[in-house]
Amino acid sequence: MQFKTLVAYGAASLIMATSQPAFARDNADAGMQVSARIPAMCSLSSSTTIASESQSIATSRFFESCNTNRGFQVVASYRPLVEGEQADVTYDGLSSSLEASGFSLVQFRQGARHGPVDVEVATEQLQSPLAISFAMTPV
């Protein structure tokens, strides 16, 4: 362990001793550009809503957070709907109908977001409870 530390100090000393400092003329323009790449991250908290056959409306409040300006998609996954069942989702004021397949695009959201979102699920003729899980994917 001591040998590795000694080698690291030696390498750092060699680099500092052989490098040349940068000097600018008095009339030189100053400028510097810094850039960073931040990965797109999106998440929803409290992302499951359960609608029962005895209740036609279920409400939830999620906390969405997404740091990409390109936007993101909100998707829902649930058990397949049987014939006659219908479910509509209102996500932050915009409504969409759930597909019978068990997977639906609920909404495309433009720009970065960070805050609470109200969700309402309106159902008709459910034969069994419907648990809907929501997720976000950056575009």
| Residue with the larger pLDDT of the pair 69 and 31 | 69
- The answer to whether residue 134 sits within a structural domain is yes
User: Residue 132 falls within a domain, yes or no?
Assistant: yes
How sure is the predictor about 120, in pLDDT bands with cuts at 50, 70 and 90? very high
pLDDT digits over 101-111, tens only?
A: 999 999 999 98
Q: Determine, yes or no, domain membership for 114.
A: yes
User: Is the residue at 33 inside a domain?
Assistant: no
Residue 53 pLDDT class (50, 70, 90 cuts): confident
Mean pLDDT over 52-59 rounds to 88
Examine the pLDDT at 8 and tell me if it is beyond 80. no
**Three-state helix/strand/coil letters over the chain:** CHHHHHHHHHHHHHHHHHCCCCCCCCCCCCCCCCCCCCCCCEEEECCEEEECCCCCEEEEEEEEEECCCCCEEEEEECCCCCCCCEEEEEECCEEEECCCCCEEEEEEECCCEEEEEEEEEEEECCCCCEEEEEEEEEC
In a domain, 25, yes or no: no
Count: domains in the chain: 1
Residue 96 lies in a domain: yes
> Which whole number is the average pLDDT over 124-137?
92
Q: Are 83 and 64 in contact (CB under 8 A)?
A: no
pLDDT at 11 over 70: no
Structural domain boundaries enclosing 115: 43-138
In a domain, 36, yes or no: no
Residue at 15 is within a domain: no
pLDDT band at 45 (very low <50, low <70, confident <90, very high): confident
CATH number at residue 105: 2.60.120.260
